[in-house]
């Protein structure tokens, strides 16, 4: 098990089906068919039942920056616990370093504009969001359905888009090898054009999360 809330290429590639994408600018991986269809339907049900408007940690004055809805997935639910176990096996990160799992739901026209998942170390909200658990390290994202049109996740710097596909996991390191934040992780959850889009997001921190 890793210590600092970090996974690694060596750890991830130990798992069958994990592919590293060939970019030097960031560490980026995918794993297709990570979740079983029944598992995904259960989590979509939970998202439908408990969704609320998504929020932004660092408000930037654009009310349309993140227009999706979010669901805090209950850590006591067996489907959520199973997901936590699958993620820990995949990434080797001590679950204590994980933020609570979230589900996201995008309706037609909804998006999450280009952003990085790490917090700005010089930003005014650093203390508020990072004083206990430290910086975000890795992001794990799982698409829960095939979207009829739109809804891709686009990494702008490397010009790589991931098409939503039920069960596909995409993960990346938000930090560079020297431990500094990596702006090449800039990504855009693009507008859904037809149908709905459901994803799971899991973020990890340098230090244990410490609150629930």
Ligand X SMILES: O=C(O)CCC(=O)C(=O)O
Residues of this chain that interact with Fe ion (CB under 5 A) are 117
- How far is 210 from 143, CA to CA, in rounded Å? 27
Q: Is 153 in the site for ligand X (CB under 6 A)?
A: yes
How open is the CA angle 111-116-122, to the nearest 5 degrees?
130
Q: What minimum distance in Å lies between the beta carbon of 58 and ligand X?
A: 12
- How far is 90 from 167, CA to CA, in rounded Å? 14
- How far is 139 from 11, CA to CA, in rounded Å? 15
Q: Which does 167 bind (CB under 5 to 8 A by kind): Fe ion, ligand X, none?
A: none
- How far is 3 from 210, CA to CA, in rounded Å? 15
Q: What minimum distance in Å lies between the beta carbon of 16 and Fe ion?
A: 26
The interface mask with ligand X, positions 82-121, x = CB under 6 A, is ----------------------x-------x----x----
Q: Which does 171 bind (CB under 5 to 8 A by kind): ligand X, Fe ion, none?
A: none
Q: What minimum distance in Å lies between the beta carbon of 113 and ligand X?
A: 10
Q: In 3D, which of 100, 38, 37, 41 has the Cα closest to residue 70?
A: 100
Q: Is 187 in the site for ligand X (CB under 6 A)?
A: yes
- Residue whose CB is less far from ligand X, 112 or 119: 112
Task: State the residues that interact with ligand X by CB under 6 A.
Answer: 104, 112, 117, 153, 187, 189, 199, 201
């Amino acid at each position: 098990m890793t210590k600092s809330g970090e996974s690694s290429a060596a750890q991830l590639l130990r798992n069958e089906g994990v592919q590293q994408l060939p970019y030097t600018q960031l560490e980026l991986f995918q794993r297709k068919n990570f979740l079983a269809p029944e598992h995904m339907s259960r989590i979509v049900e939970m998202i439908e039942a408990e969704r609320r408007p998504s929020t932004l940690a660092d408000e930037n004055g654009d009310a349309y920056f993140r227009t999706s809805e979010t669901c805090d997935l209950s850590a006591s639910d067996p489907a959520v616990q199973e997901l936590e176990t699958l993620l820990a096996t995949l990434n080797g990160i001590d679950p204590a370093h994980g933020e609570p799992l979230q589900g996201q739901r995008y309706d037609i026209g909804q998006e999450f504009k280009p952003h990085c998942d790490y917090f700005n170390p010089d930003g005014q909200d650093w203390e508020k969001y990072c004083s206990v658990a430290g910086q975000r390290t890795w992001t794990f994202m799982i698409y829960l359905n095939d979207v009829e049109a739109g809804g891709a996740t686009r990494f702008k710097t490397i010009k790589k888009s991931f098409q939503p596909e039920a069960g596909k996991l995409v993960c990346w390191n938000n930090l560079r090898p020297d431990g500094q934040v990596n702006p090449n992780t800039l990504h855009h959850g693009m507008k859904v054009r037809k149908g709905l889009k459901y994803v799971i997001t899991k973020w990890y921190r340098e230090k244990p999360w410490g609150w629930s």
